[in-house]
Amino acid sequence: MARRRDEVPEEEDQEMEEELVTLQFDEPLSWRAGKPIATGELLRRLEKLSKELVDMDQETIDKQSLTHVAKELASPNLLSHREGGVRAFAAACLVDVLKLCAPEAPFTPKQLKEIFTLFVKTILPALWDPSNAYNTQHKYVLTSLAEVKSILLINDVTNAEELLLYLFSSFFDGVSGSSKAASGEQVAKDVEWHMSEILITLVEESPSLPPPVLDVIMAQFLRAAPPGGRKEKADANGKQTTLLPKEEPEAYALAKTVCNSCPEKMARYVGQYFSEVIMDVSGNSGHANGHKDDDDSDEDDGAAGPSDSEFKELRKAHQLLRELWRAAPTVLPNVIPQVDAELSADNIQLRLLATETLGDMISGIGAAGPPPSPELDPTAYPPLKLNDEIPDHPAISILTTPISPLSFAQTHSQAFHNFVGRRNDKSPLIRAAWTTGVGYIVSTSAGSIGLSREDESVFVNGLRDKLNDNDEKVRLAAVKAIETFSFRDIVTKLAAIGGVNKEGSVLFTLADRCRDKRPSIRVEAMALLGKLWAVGSGELAAGQESAISALSGIPSRIFNTFYANDLELNVLLERVVFECLIPLSFPPPPKAKGTKSSNGNSQSQPAVDTTYDQDRIRAERILLVVKDLDSNARRAFNALQARQPQFSKVLDNLVRQCDAFNGGNPEGNAEKIDQNLKKTIQYLSQFLPDAVKVDADLYNFATWHDRRCYQLIRFAVSAESDFKTMHRAVKELVKRIQGSPKPHMLDTLLPLLYRSAYIVLNKSHLSTYMDCSKSDKDGLGSAAQEITTEISQNNPDLFKTHVGQLCKDLVDGAPTADKSNETSMVETLKACSSYSKKYPNELPVDRKFIQALISYSLYGEPAKAAKYAVNVMMVRKDDKSMVSATDLLQRIMKGWGYDSPHFITKLAAVSQLELLASKVTADANDRIIDTALEDVLFKVRTDAKDSDPEWAADSELDEECQVKCWALKLVINRLRGTQDLEEAKELAKPVFKLLRNILKQSGELCKTQDTPKHHKARVRLLAGQLFLKLCTSKHFEEIFSHADFNQLAFLTQDPSAMVRRLFVEKLQKYLVQNKLRPRFYTMIFLTAFEPDTAFKNQIETWIRSRAHFFRDAKQSVMESTMGRLISLLAHHPDYGTEVDDLIDHARYLLYYVSNVATEANFGMIFKYAERVKQTRDGITPAESERLYVVSDLAQNILRKWQEKKNWIFQAYAGKVGLPMGLYTALPSHNVAQEIAAKQYLPEELEEQLDELVRSVDKKKKRRNADERAEGQPAQKKVRTTVPKAAAKVKTPKVAKTPSKRPAVKSSKTSSRSKKAPASSPAPDSADRRRSGRSKKSSTYVERDSSEDDEDMLEGVAEWDYYDGRGNRVGDDDDDSSGLSEPEEEPAPADEEAEAEEAPEEDKESELSDIEEDEEAPAPPSSPPKAANGRRGRAAASSPTTSKTKSLVSRPAVKASAAKAKPPAASKAKAKPAPKARVATTRSTRSRRAAAQDEDEDADTNAV
């Protein structure tokens, strides 16, 4: 059996041997030297052999028959033959032999090397020329090597590394096109596929891959980098990417295929590859956590940082990593931990590089760099929609398209977590890089693979936090990171948690950067916000909710930067407005159907038709901006438009001066012309940030003497130019200046053009404004009405072409007894009223128009219509207008009575007739006034309820309250309309008494019935405002007593917040317009306890603005307020003798000092405070001790403030006078000495005053630190309370009795001389004074004292004494009596008063100058008069009397005067034990004062 089994295989072998096929080819292929085979014959033989070999099968071939042929084929004669065809056929035969003889090759190692050398260096590279005659044989060789995998035999060749390197290099170079033939014929795709198979086979099945070969593979991924290397991200603007291919390079794709086909092996090779680079470079640098709480320096690069050459290699490796993650992330599992380790390196460069690399990898950004930022084109029309398909950027490339094949967060969670932690790195460079990376991660959705909600929230919040980073580089990086988001992504991703109006959101924080201290940051932030709003304006107009929530607040945040009072920021504001929000080139000219929009994106553009009205579209964009503005921003917008006519005149004047200058060769009076030009340039330079550059640029412009530019400027600033003319003029001017020898002049001229040109208030837009105000299209009616009103007040010239239409509209819309008018007609009437004041003779006088005005006066609604109608009717002041007024009055008086129809309208009409036509109303005055008082003001028709609100808005005000307001205006207008001064003064007595009673009774005039709370609030507010209006007339102000002044001042502390705010705003307005005497500035300082933080911040800004203005004007208005403030505080209802009361009064004084005092004016302020103790109280002489208490308190506060500020005290040498009436002279010199020597403050007050001043300084330091960190204005900070020294229990106060103790108790004012011009709005009644102590919401200082360190006044303080007869002792200079009442210094002329609006700026940015009353006459333009009774600054700096000494405890007195004792030595009587105080319901008044008021009310009602 065994033998049989053994025999069977033997038989089978014999059968197989019989079936084997032998090679039939027997012709020689080699030859001896000197007897070569002819090339043609050789080719024939090789071709014959090749055909036979092709048909053979490996299973049936007799391999022994191939031995001879194989030997001949491997002979050098064939392998090195000069004929390419011979080599090609030989190679084809050789690959067949290798295939048939596999797995054993019938060649010696030497032959095998020569064969593969032929393949690699000759045959395969020839494939790049498809036109080669033997291309078929070349492809056959390639195919065979790939399919049979005989290419693996290359590994058996000695020194195979060289051939492998050549093979890989030639393949990559070949597919990339660098080795293609001149014919340029495309290589077949199957060739590239077989090549990739060969490379994959070699990588997958070779035992190892030589490092040089791996280098070649890795190098292919760097083909994605742009020419010249990868640009920094900060410079990635999309321009360079146009050089990148639109598709992946072939060699790149080949390497990508190889890596993805062999992930495991390539992962090992790649890991080794990067280990050599990364570990060698970073391994020596050490590791640390690198967080911000490290003590190491931010810029410390570690002890052993990499060299430049090492770091260059490392950066190249990281660049390769970025691209590998995009192409083949599966080959990097061993590399990511190494990069993760770099995140903790001590060396900043390594951490920075690792942070940048991981950020790019997570977002799918490769070696080509980030994608170009989306283009936000504010001029595109129609604007983008959220649901529009986002068009591709014209510079987009596949290599810059973020792609992340895998989720980095899931694949490498530890590295991802560590990357997130880099946001708190101690180095700002790394935090900035992290911020940039996060921007791309969120905007690209992690390379389009998506982020979890948690991760996206972490990144978005991190981006928000970095906007508030304390390093400017990080903040700038955060702003630029937001620029990488598309419009849709900003709305859907960044605004998902809230828009620009929601505090804590990304956009809200971005808007804060508009006021950043660093110009580069605020420029980027504001421009980005402006473009974002402009791009989203279409969705805003359409009412898209998410867009409205995200973006609607942007214009307000931009315009509110106006209040930062920074010249540079104001220039930026205007550029953003006119280049982003409402750019001059918006909308673009109409285009033919099918063209692309102006931003280059494929937004569909409708066919041009007649409905494409550029002026209408632009006007609606302007209205949309105004519609979205809040109240403060709207005031700023109006202020910018209000100053435009003034600037247009100045710029037009500059052009005339330049023309006369004639390029430096003036004709005529050269000196005068040069001087005029210099003055104009100096005037303009104060409104721009760099005065030196402005001077130089404008002189260069004048020297250039381009008359065409002069004409273009005239076109731009002319009210007669339509928008198209203005725009073309600006464009041409810009182009001409850019081509001039000094193009930098544009930096100065362009801001001036923006301020001067008719851009917003252009006559081309007026018709759209008027149409929208009537139709309220898209909710733009109120905005259109407001702009129309602004035009009528500030640019009435624009109405010239439309006044006829306005009057026609008034006639057509006139009301009747049965038909009311449209509400929009009120604004039309107001516009006509304003226009008629400037052009009274240009309105029609026909009967139809006059009857329409009478109809508005009788039946118009609201009642203001009657007021404006009467204004228009009476503007000519001729006989015809008087006849019309008489006719109107007769028709009104026919049914005169409260219950008559349209009574409120008639009341308004009569009120205006009393003012403008007092002769017409003279006969009916008794009946009119009787009705106004007895039937309206003294009666209550609406029952008061506990549920009544404290305040009602205008729209919610009931008719009775409106009637009362008009009745009170009527009474005042009758007084104002009286022409005879003596008669007016006589008539003023009962009127003043009426207003006085309203203020004393808190608005209650009825003796038998309670008035609703909101009615009383309205009436007392109006009474206060009317008091102010009356005091704008000199003859009424003269009879305005000091007691009335004090009573009116307390309205700044009214219980109603709106009463306080509106009264203070009216006060500010009149003060800035120079309509009130400077003593009214004193009232502002009672706002020290204003509980509304934002409002108080505005007040303080305004005070500092006015103080700065008066310092520049060389006027001591704010300093002299100290004397009046001391008197006001001494008569304050909350004055008390307890320590807490004194602390409260100290807060008023500290409020004044912190906003007014500088090292320069400190001596003068101190002298005013000191001077008070040399006088008696002129209002209530028996209570003069109150003045001394407050004076000592003021001096004490001033000394402590000076010590805290480390100021050098220079006593003021000039004379200071106190106002007569408030102060009188002391009876004798002895009394003066006794008062001067006595201290009126308790010893226990000293410590609390120290703590009070110290706490204010602490708050200021905290605020300044916050500003340094955040770059934000002070008002953004939450105020902290002034800490108390100790909590003391106080008993309720009892009724006040005259105290025999020294007035040690309470003085709450800072004393100053005559001119009391303070600038600070009124306080909130809920917190007038005492609420500040109970609510802990008061604060005094909100700014750094460095803002006030200017103009030092010199001199030594001297005291004045009087003998028993009242004569001054020791002073021969009687010309400057301290008690003489000097003429109040008028505020600057109108031009300056309107211009001075910013605390540290020029004359344009004061917020109180924003509103204009159409009835208010223009302020006088005369220069300020010299004050009587005290010396000016010249005296202050007199060298003969100037001495400098340090202020120790108090200033030195005259030699004859006793020295003041320090507080510790005070002989004041001991205070009784502190008493507990019961909380009062009236938050701004003391309990005692409230009780006194109640007693007075009871007495009044009893009468």
Range with the lowest mean pLDDT among 471-475, 687-691, 808-812, 1470-1474?
1470-1474
Q: Which has the closest alpha carbon to 507: 488, 471, 479?
A: 479
Distance from C-alpha of 740 to C-alpha of 1073, rounded to nearest angstrom: 42
Distance from C-alpha of 1480 to C-alpha of 495, rounded to nearest angstrom: 45
Check if the beta carbon of residue 1149 is closer than 8 Å to that of residue 1193: yes
Sorted by sequence, the CB contacts under 8 Å of residue 756 that are 6+ apart come out as 644, 647, 648, 650, 651, 652, 716, 717
1175-1177 vs 1368-1369, strand pairing mode: unpaired
Residue 503 is encoded by which pair of tokens?
């505090």
pLDDT computed for residue 345 by the predictor = 86
Distance from C-alpha of 567 to C-alpha of 559, rounded to nearest angstrom: 14
Predicted confidence band of residue 818 (pLDDT cuts 50, 70, 90):
confident
Distance from C-alpha of 720 to C-alpha of 716, rounded to nearest angstrom: 9
Output the CA torsion 1246→1251→1256→1259 (10° steps).
170
pLDDT at 681 over 50: yes
Q: Which has the closest alpha carbon to 1080: 1063, 1097, 1104?
A: 1063
Check if the beta carbon of residue 494 is closer than 8 Å to that of residue 460: yes
Angle made by CA atoms 339, 341, 345, in degrees to the nearest 5 = 110
pLDDT computed for residue 1356 by the predictor = 30
Instruction: Quote the percentage of the chain above a pLDDT of 90.
Output: 30
pLDDT computed for residue 717 by the predictor = 92
Check if the beta carbon of residue 168 is closer than 8 Å to that of residue 162: no
Residue 882 is encoded by which pair of tokens?
């008087």
Distance from C-alpha of 724 to C-alpha of 295, rounded to nearest angstrom: 62
Predicted confidence (pLDDT) per residue in 128-186, tens digit? 888 888 888 888 888 888 888 888 888 888 888 888 999 998 888 888 875 454 455 66
Check if the beta carbon of residue 837 is closer than 8 Å to that of residue 877: no
pLDDT at 1502 over 90: no
* Whether the predicted model's global pTM rises above the 0.85 cut: no
Residue 1410 is encoded by which pair of tokens?
């924003």
- Which residues sit opposite 1368 in a β-bridge? 1362
**Residue 426 φ then ψ, to 5°:** -70, -25
Predicted confidence band of residue 467 (pLDDT cuts 50, 70, 90):
very high
| Three-class SS state of 1413 | coil
Query: Can you list the alpha helix ranges (DSSP code H) found in 56-83?
Result: 67-73, 76-79
DSSP 37: P
- Three-class HEC string of 530-588: HHHHHHCHHHHHHCCHHHHHHHCCHHHHHHHHHHHCCHHHHHHHHHHHHHHHCCCCCCC
Quick count: other Cβ atoms within 10 Å of Cβ 1481?
8
Range with the lowest mean pLDDT among 707-716, 971-980, 1108-1117, 1264-1273?
1264-1273
Sorted by sequence, the CB contacts under 8 Å of residue 438 that are 6+ apart come out as 359, 423, 459, 462, 463, 466, 481
Distance from C-alpha of 1429 to C-alpha of 1426, rounded to nearest angstrom: 10
Measured CA distances, 1343 to 213, 1261, 1332 (Å): 67, 9, 20
If residue 1176 lies in a helix (H) or strand (E), which one and from where to where? strand 1175-1177
If residue 1148 lies in a helix (H) or strand (E), which one and from where to where? helix 1139-1156
pLDDT computed for residue 1308 by the predictor = 35
Pairwise pLDDT comparison (803 vs 858), residue with the higher score: 858
Predicted confidence band of residue 592 (pLDDT cuts 50, 70, 90):
low
Range 1109-1140 burial, b when 16+ CB lie within 10 A, else e: bbbbbebbbbbbbbbbbbbbbbbbbbbbbbbb
Residue 1499 is encoded by which pair of tokens?
């007495």
Distance from C-alpha of 1264 to C-alpha of 1256, rounded to nearest angstrom: 12
Predicted confidence (pLDDT) per residue in 510-530, tens digit? 999 998 889 999 999 999 999
